[in-house]
Amino acid sequence: MKILVCISNVPDTTTKIKLVNNNSGYDKTGVQWIINPWDELALTRALLLKEEQGSPITEISVINVGTKDTEPTLRKALAVGADDAIRVDAEAKDAYYVAAQIAEVVKNNGYDIVLCGIESSDYNGSAVGGMLSELLDVPSVSSVSGLFIEDGKVKLNREIDGGTQVLATETPFVAIVQKGIALDPRIPAMRGIMMARKKPLVVLPPADIEALTEYIDYEMPQAKSACKMIDEDNAGDMIRLLHEEAKAI
């Protein structure tokens, strides 16, 4: 069984967003680029599955659609333990463009399980995994918080609106994973970092695909007005204010 983990290259989640060039972009100076947190959890789960005794997983690949700037992020995925990496050499224009590029690679390489994070922390699109599965015409299981392989059969835990499901599916499939899939992301060790330099990172030319959407410009949220403070000893006043002034109760 081969697993492909889709990796998005995003600014560190603590990055303060500052708009530049008439709000057409954000300031990228000094930004730390990381593996999208949910993709990192997906990769961690894939590695744990591969390490299980008698695991049917033989290979874990990672893929990113991006320019050469994203290679350090792919190297980090290799350092954590992925076997090989693929970079489709193109700007990630929109979710459809990215999904269609990855779909081409999956069709050529034949993975059994494709893992995507539930969203990327930059544009919060939650779109690539679902689109990819539709383009491949395979099942997708979304908001997955548990992924297990027992006797060669796949079992997933999934959160739905108003509950949870335990389900089985056939391979190949796409799992779109969220919190719970792994507890903490794996951190690369020095040995892993050394080994990562020698692992294959294949650069592929992009397929001819047209994006369906484009980002025009950005807008900062309105600044909140000052917080109205109420005394600890008169806390009940808060409830009356919320009723009379804010009309929220």
Identify the DSSP state of 152.
T
In the complex, least distance from residue 158 CB atom to another protein, rounded to whole angstroms: 9
Give the x/- contact pattern for another protein in 161-200, rule: CB under 8 A. Answer: xxxxxxxxxx--x--x-xxx--------------------
The yes or no reply on residue 36 touching another protein (CB under 8 A) is no
Contacts of residue 55, Cβ cutoff 8 Å, sequence gap at least 6: 49, 149
Number of shown-chain residues binding another protein (CB under 8 A) = 88
Q: Which of 35, 49, 96, 196 binds another protein (CB under 8 A)?
A: 96
Q: Which is nearer to another protein, 190 or 216 (CB)?
A: 216
Q: Which is nearer to another protein, 73 or 133 (CB)?
A: 133
In the complex, least distance from residue 207 CB atom to another protein, rounded to whole angstroms: 15
CB 63 within 8 A of CB 6: yes
In the complex, least distance from residue 223 CB atom to another protein, rounded to whole angstroms: 10
CB 66 within 8 A of CB 42: no
The yes or no reply on residue 152 touching another protein (CB under 8 A) is no
The yes or no reply on residue 38 touching another protein (CB under 8 A) is yes
| Subset of 64-93 contacting another protein (CB under 8 A) | none
Q: Which of 30, 108, 190, 229 binds another protein (CB under 8 A)?
A: 229
Integer angstrom CA distances of residue 33 from 30, 36, 190, 212, 224: 9, 9, 19, 26, 29
| Subset of 44-63 contacting another protein (CB under 8 A) | none
**3-class state of residue 196 by DSSP:** helix
Give the x/- contact pattern for another protein in 107-136, rule: CB under 8 A. Answer: -----------xx-xxxxxxxxxxxxxxx-
CB 111 within 8 A of CB 4: yes
The yes or no reply on residue 212 touching another protein (CB under 8 A) is yes
Question: Whole-angstrom Cα distance, residue 246 to residue 249?
Answer: 8
In the complex, least distance from residue 182 CB atom to another protein, rounded to whole angstroms: 12
Q: Which is nearer to another protein, 26 or 188 (CB)?
A: 26
**Which residue's entry shows tokens 């792994």?**
182
Please give the single-letter amino acid code of residue 111: Y
Identify the DSSP state of 110.
-
Torsion sign (Cα): 36, 39, 40, 41: positive
